[in-house]
Amino acid sequence: MGKLVALVLLGVGLSLVGQMFPAFRERMNASREVEPVEPENCRLIEELENGSEDIDILPSGLAFISSGLKYPGLPNFAPDEPGKIFLMDLNEQNPRAQALEISGGFDKELFNPHGISIFIDKDHTVYLYVVNHPHMKSTVEIFKFEEKQRSLVYLKTITHELLKSVNDIVVLGPEQFYATRDHYFTNSFLSLFEMILDLRWTYVLFYSPREVKVVAKGFCSANGITVSADQKYVYVADVAAKNIHVMEKHDNWDLTQLKVIQLGTLVDNLTVDPATGDILAGCHPNPMKLLNYNPEDPPGSEVLRIQNVLSEKPRVSTVYANNGSVLQGTSVASVYRGKILIGTVFHKTLYCEL
């Protein structure tokens, strides 16, 4: 009897998915193609061939890059190689990427880095926080950056029952950060199921050694997260809903939604231009091509700049767009003094002088 009920429920569920799949394809921009917008002074970074899912840049111009993400349902060109953290000095005339050595007893073979965030302590020590997926679980790894040695020292692994399916983090204090949960279900089939049904069960949580709590919820798929330069506002990308949530941060770390900036593309990671306060968004113009990867018809790339974020009518402009002939599956863009690094989930990395 139990098996019969399960089969009936499965049949009903599959029927419902079938009915909603056309709407899902429309939400995923399945037929969209982008018009090229490509700055003249651009080149691919030779050392980065297997993704650069997230990028964070120090005020000094040193850029940290997470590479080699293995994510269920998405392409990966080096499935047997562990992930790495790369460093680039954007002050150099022709910057190159260098893989950072990791010491301190960290299990590098299980390294599967996703979102990253830099924290600079009062004594100017630089810490790198990395979302990691060993065995497809979610942890947050803390490393200390040794600038002279160009290396990372492993310090600590953070786990918690609310840290599931973590996508990105933004660190605002010693072991104090916001993190996004991009799927409610950890099973890849059920994760796709929830996106097709447009379930809004994902959230943003706040973590500290004293308190862990959900501070914003109701997202279709909470993805990239960052903070304004004055740390008064937190920006959250809801990738499947094609928008950015502008949240006010309170003294108790709670978040209140101020507005939603609706976009016509699927927004992945977010960064803030330190010179202007604008948001830079790495976007997927047609993510169906990510889910059904075909090298003959690859996924495109798109980078948007959102100006006047807090105004009634923020200005959205396209910084970069490509149909996949150069860059596939853009996930992030970060700027430093007229230079921009554009990263991807699994593909290459583009460096441009604007």
99-117 burial: b if 16+ Cβ within 10 Å, else e? ebebeeebeeeebbbbbbb
Q: Which residues are annotated as a binding site for Ca(2+)?
A: 53-54, 116, 167-168, 223, 268-269
Contact 331, 310 (CB under 8 A): no
Strand 42-44 and strand 54-57: the pairing is unpaired
Distance CA 40, CA 109 (A): 39
Strand 101-103 and strand 98-99: the pairing is unpaired
The pair of structure tokens assigned to 69 is 């993400």
Helix 188-196 / helix 2-27 crossing angle, nearest 10 deg = 60
18-37 burial: b if 16+ Cβ within 10 Å, else e? eeeeeebeebbbeebebeee
114 counts as catalytic: yes
Distance CA 351, CA 196 (A): 35
In Å, what is the CA distance from 252 to each residue of 180, 208, 225?
A: 18, 12, 18
Active-site residue, selected from the candidate residues 114, 183, 245, 347: 114
Place of tokens 């047609």: 286
Positions annotated as catalytic residues are 114
